[in-house]
Structure formats: structure tokens, C-alpha cells
Amino acid sequence: MPAFYINGNGGFSFGYALGVNQCNCPLKETENHFQWVNNWSKTKGNHTFGWGVDIRRAQQQRIPSDAHRSGEISFSAGVTGSPAVDAPNGDIAPNGSTGTGMASFLLGLPSNFSRYFTGAGYQPGLRQTRLFFYGQDSWRITRKLTFNYGLRYENYLPQTAAHPGGAGSFDPNTGEVLVAGVGSVPSNMGVQAYNLGFAPRLGIAYSITQHTVIRAGYGRSFTPAGLGAVFGQAPDYDPPVTIPQQLNQDNNYGSVGFNLLSGPPLPSNPVVGANGRFPLPGDLNVFYFFNPPSAYRVPLADSWNLTVQHEITPTLTAEVAYVGNVGRHLFINPNVNQAAADPNCQTDGPGGTSTCDDFDSRRQFFPQFGLSQGIYQTCNCDNSSYHALQAKLQKRTSKGLDFLVSYTYGKAMANSETGGAFGNNLNWWEDHGPANYDRTHTLTISHVWQLPFGRGRHWGTGASKAVDAVLGGWDFSGITRFESGLPFTVFADGPNLYADFNSVRPDQIGDSNVSNQSASLWFNPAAFTDPQGVARQGFVRHNSLRGPGFYEFDLSLGKVFRITESKTLEFKWETYNATNHVNLVNPDSYIHSDTAGQIFGAADMRQMQFGLHFRY
């Protein structure tokens, strides 16, 4: 069954796809890794040297249904709206569209259609070689000072097709698909290796006094991730092996050229030339190409810290640290064939024509190649950052009690986070803001308390076996978390945008705060309106509002019963969210929704579980 998305006020979704019922089906996936590794170490004087080599070979085959093979069909308000009524004076539509997504659905007029096919005669599959080498030294300079330094080299060679035609790419200079391993196209599709994968690491520890230590460190690490630019789920998503069909409206008020009664056209099964190339058809997408081919990079993180640790008593320590990191060359997959926003377009041009409705002329690959569909570039060009003050107080086990109190004051900033969660494909920096997972304050308290009853404990050392079996030997532990709220973005419509952005943020015209925030109303949606200008994103920033905080108290009570010398039975009673506190999720943030500003969900309420673990 296809997936149906009815957008706008009163909208809903049904059917099967990743976005509805989370169905990536049918799906076939196989992955193998082969590894040859060896490490050496040598101690000489006050140096401890280490070095090693790690060579890996990765194999993957994935036949996906990210766009459901029965189709994913969207219905928007613009298809049944009237531009003459929405914007009678030309450039501003103050009240949004006169149409509705529901009306478009009832008339069977989609605004977007997508699905996956597998090309006939081709077998998907990818291969990659990975090379790792390192050397390091731990140098104890003095009794108080230790210096660690090292260098690691990593090279993730460009992935290759396991079979001719098992992967594809795109040549932005000719508008052609490159078929891996066919004709003059190499199996890596011409992607050039990144040979500068050097990752230094430095660390220093200095004992200021017998009870106080200062530590500092810096390290670089490469993070190829599970999919995207480095390996897997990218070139094998392109024609000719995977045929992603997508049909878009050519303006805010147009349909995709078919209705539900007639059904969508079949995608073309492309004919590959002897040179391994063919012109990209107008109804197929590509998701993998580097522009230029030398732009291939491996995502990395630079991390550093400065920590002061002090021993207050032999069992109690305190620690304060500054921790920071930045992500560089992060993977994103923007549609570089999105219509560029043009603030100078005319809604009432000569003869009543509108240049604003002409999306195609503003697409990168339409004027030369006539391509209006989504063309997704592989780009290791995003950034992120994190900075935090971290404090910790820890008591090691004494008199049966162990506890840890930690507090973090931090800020995580990002643009896309997952490679595609931005509004404007041509300027993802417009979405720079707090990361979706950012919590400004986090306080965590954990403890393990050996209750002082029973044999070998403070009270009841001489208790009988029966009394000890019932009252003795119990451990009481728990974790308590207090966290400030997660950020969220307010969304609007873009009747004056005249571009196919992924999402639109509003302008703010009032105070978004409400007194006595609750699930009934967390923020004031009347404080926002659709962008009051032509061809621009709203001025409200990404993730500029905060949702409800989070509190949870988890408890555990357990005991180990010794049956014989070699056999034990462990009992545990665990309670999550023991106080049954209601932790609300973020509110509905689409300002035109009837439920804008309201909250309809919460995290899990109290849950209990009992467990027995028999060891022998």
C-alpha cells in the first residue's frame, strides 16, 4: 500500500513507508568486514612506545525501499488554491493559501510523488579498503609530569562497485549518469582518495600537589559513520541499479501531472552507453556525486579538554573540566537542484505573467540539461560544535555507600545534524542553531548503597540464616536525572517563498511566551506569521524555543542468594520513573495547526520489572 501525506491544517498520514508505520520494506541487506590487525609495544627507560597496523576490507549489499516501492504521495494546499485570490495585490499572500491539502487529496491531485525501483540486469554491492597505522609514546618526564603523544593515519579509500553497474554517480558538467565499472568509468566513479587523514593526539597530566592533578588533552578522530559519503547507502542508491523516481510540482499551485485515477507514469529503465554514461532522465534522482571529484573527505571530530581533579578525602574526589569539540567535513546530502529563492522576482510581470512561479529557470541543472528533479550532492561540508563546563563529585565505596553527582552546563550547535534536516538546500547555514539534542543543564545523581543489614554488614552480623536470607545482603541503587528542555523550531507556510524549500520558518510579530506553560499551551502561536517578504526564509531562528524539562528517578533493589559454593540466584526489582512524573514532549510547532502550541505526548510513565539470574 502506498503512503499518503495530507499536509496543512487538518492533515494526516496513512499507509506504509519510513515516515508512516516506519516500514522500509521490502529490504535486503548484507554486510561483511574482514580485518588484519597487529599491535606492538616496547618500554625503554621512562618511555612506553606503541605502534600498530590495521587493514580492513568492507563489503555491503543493500536493496532498500527508503521511498516505498508502492509510492509515497503528498497533497498540499497550493494545488487547490488560487494565486489570484491568495495574492490579489501581487507579492504578498497574507492569509496563506485558499486551498487545503484535504481538498487536493479528495480530488486526487498530488503535489509530490516518489518511489524506488531496481534497474533490470544490475546487482547492487559496494566494496572498500581501509588503512590504519599509528604510533604513540607515554613519556613519564618526572614523578609529577606525564606526557602522551601519538599520531594515527587513516585512509578510507573511495568505495567501489562490486559488480559492473552496481553503483552510479552524476557528472554535473554533462548532466550524465556515470555507471561504475562500465566503459571508461572506473569502479570508484572517478572519486579521488583523501590521503591526508592524519590524526594527532596529545595529553598531559601534572600533579600540582599530592591530592590535586591537572590534565589536558587534544585528539582528532575520523568518523566515517554508517552511511553516506564514505561507505554504503549512497552510490548504490543511484541509477542504473536503483531508480529513485520523484515527480514535483513546477510551482506552488501546480500538480505533478497525474491524478490518482490515472496513476503515475512508469520510470524509464535507462540504456547505458558503451562509454558507461547516459543522460539522466528527467524523472530520476541521483543521491551520490562529488563536485569536484577531489572534494571527497572523511568526517572528523577535534576534541579537547582541561580538567582539575582534587582528592578531598581518600574516598571522595571532586573534578571540574572544560570540554569542547568541533565536527568538520560532516556529511550532508542537499538537493542542489532546488529552485533558488529570488527576492527580485515579479508576481505581476508584463502581460500579467509571474516570474516568481517559474521554478525551473532557477534550478542549477535545468537551463542546460532540462533537469528539474531533485539531484542530491554528496558533500562533506557541514560543521558542528560543543562546549561544556562539567563538574563531578564522586564518593568511592566506603561504609557500603558509593555515589556520583555530575553536572553539565553545555551548548551543542549544528546545522543539519543528520545530513538533511535543513530548510534551504542551497544555504544550510540558515539553520545554524542549537542541536536537537542540546540540553543546557544536566544534573545526574547516582548511588549504590549496600543496606547495612545482614551478615558481614553493620547490623545483623550474627543473624541466623533465615533472618539473613530475608533481611540481609540487599543493595539499593538509583539514578536521578534533571535536564532542561530540548529546543524546537517553529514552522510556517511559504506562500510568498516561490521556491521548494524543505521547510519554512516564520517571522515573529509578538511575544511567544505564555504565563503558566502547560500541555494546554506551551507557547503563543499568534506571535508568529508566515514570512512577510518575497522569496525568503522567516527571521525566526532554527531551534529558538525550548520545550519542557525532564526529570526521572530510577530505583533498583537487589540481592544475591548463595545456593551452593558455585551456584547463586540474583533477584532484582527495578522501577523506572519511580515517582511517575509526567515528562512532556515538545509541542506542536506548526503555527497554522489547530493544535499549535499544545502538547499531546509524554515520555514513559512508571514501569517496573522483576528479574532472576541463576549462575552456575
pLDDT of residue 349: 66
Residue at a domain's end among 55, 88, 109: 109
For the segment 26-50, what is each residue's pLDDT rounded down to a tens digit? 778 888 999 999 999 999 999 999 9
Low-confidence spans in the chain with pLDDT less than 70: 87-96, 225-229, 233, 349-352, 418-420
User: What percent of the chain has a predicted confidence (pLDDT) above 90?
Assistant: 66
Decide which of 84, 109, 134 is a domain's last residue.
Answer: 109
- Alpha-carbon distance of 428 to 383, in angstroms, equals 10
pLDDT the model gives residue 339: 94
Of 236, 245, 116, the closest CA to residue 180 belongs to: 236
Q: Which three cell numbers stand for residue 616?
A: 552456575
CA distance 583 to 230: 38
Where among 76, 109, 142 does a domain terminate?
109
On whether residue 134 sits in a domain, the answer given is: no
Residue 438 lies in a domain: yes
Residue 228 in any domain: the answer is no
Assign 235 to helix, strand or coil: helix
Sheet of 242-248: strand order equals 12-14, 3-6, 72-75, 112-118, 242-248
SS (H, E, C) 318-355: EEEEEEEEEEEEEEECCECCCCCCCCCCCCCCHHHCCC
Q: CA 224, CA 125: separation in Å to the nearest integer?
A: 18
Number of domain units in the chain:
2
Cell of 127: 566494496
Q: What is the pTM of this model?
A: 0.83
Answer whether 75's CB lies under 8 Å from 107's CB.
no
Domain that holds residue 475: 399-414+431-616
| 237 touches 376 (CB < 8 A) | no
Q: What pLDDT, on a 0 to 100 scale, did the predictor assign at position 23?
A: 79
Question: 59 in a domain, yes or no?
Answer: no
- On whether the CB atoms of residues 332 and 381 are closer than 8 A, the answer is yes
Q: Which phi and psi (to 5°) does residue 237 adopt?
A: -100, 0
- Inside any domain, residue 507: yes
**23 inside domain:** yes
Report if residue 454 sits inside a domain: yes
Determine contact, residues 230/299, Cβ cutoff 8 Å. yes
Give the per-residue pLDDT at 91. 46
Residue 92's pLDDT is: 45
Task: Answer whether residue 89 is part of any domain.
Answer: yes
Whether residue 75 contacts residue 104, with contact meaning beta carbons closer than 8 Å, is answered with yes
